[in-house]
């Protein structure tokens, strides 16, 4: 018996057609479940906040990695910025993608410091290039990376 039906020569052909279809359906359902569950497991985000101290200096805070959502990392970045003395922090960069990130300090035309950030880049060099492009667009010069990170999980192979 198969699925409550007797297998006979007359419906054996129908059974042959049903089995590949059932396998295909189970494979498709398994792939969909893996993608949905895998996307949830692999979710990560990064955010950078920038605030100003009472004496006019800029302070930054960032949050990246783990399984936090983008909204959670925004909240954490603002919290870290405030903990370092930054008042009225605002988010200057945020993403829900994993990747490389940098915070770059640059000198403005008036000689004051400015900050820019890049998050969720494919490589560290891409993150640096994006932050440098933003600094240049803001009229900055003499830029330097003050913080970098990579929140892409590393695969370790035991040899």
Residue 49 has pLDDT above 70, yes or no: yes
Kindly state the tokens that stand for 142.
């003499």
Secondary element (H or E) of residue 156: none
The predicted model gives 105-110 an average pLDDT of 92
| Radius of gyration for the alpha carbons in the chain, expressed in angstroms and rounded | 26
More confident residue, 4 or 27: 4
- Contacts with 81 (C-beta within 8 Å, 6 or more apart), sequence order: 49, 50, 51, 59, 60, 61, 89
Q: In Å, how far are 6, 33, 41, 100, 125 from 132, measured between CA atoms?
A: 71, 40, 32, 14, 10
Predicted TM-score of the model (pTM):
0.68
Residue 25 has pLDDT above 50, yes or no: no
pLDDT class of 11 with cuts at 50, 70, 90 = low
- At residue 14, the pLDDT reads 52
8 Å CB contact between 143 and 132:
yes
Please, what is the average pLDDT of the chain? 79
- At residue 16, the pLDDT reads 53
Backbone angles phi, psi at 111, to 5 degrees: 90, -10
More confident residue, 86 or 43: 86
Q: What is the DSSP secondary structure assignment for residue 155, as one 8-state letter?
A: P
pLDDT digits (tens, 9 = 90+) for 120-155: 999 999 999 999 999 999 999 899 999 999 887 766
């Amino acid at each position: 018996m198969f699925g409550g039906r007797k297998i006979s020569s007359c419906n054996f052909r129908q059974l042959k057609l049903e089995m590949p279809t059932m396998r295909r359906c189970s494979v498709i359902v398994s792939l969909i479940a893996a993608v949905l569950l895998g996307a949830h497991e692999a979710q990560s985000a990064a955010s950078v906040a920038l605030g100003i101290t009472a004496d006019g200096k800029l302070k930054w805070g960032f949050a990246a990695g783990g399984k936090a959502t983008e909204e959670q990392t925004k909240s954490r970045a603002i919290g870290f910025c405030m903990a370092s003395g930054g008042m009225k922090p605002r988010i200057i960069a945020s993403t829900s993608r994993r990747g490389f990130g940098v915070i770059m300090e640059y000198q403005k035309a008036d000689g004051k410091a400015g900050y820019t950030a890049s998050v969720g880049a494919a490589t560290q060099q891409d993150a640096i290039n994006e932050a440098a492009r933003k600094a240049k667009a803001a009229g900055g010069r003499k830029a330097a990376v003050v913080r970098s990170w990579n929140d892409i999980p590393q695969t370790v192979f035991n040899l």
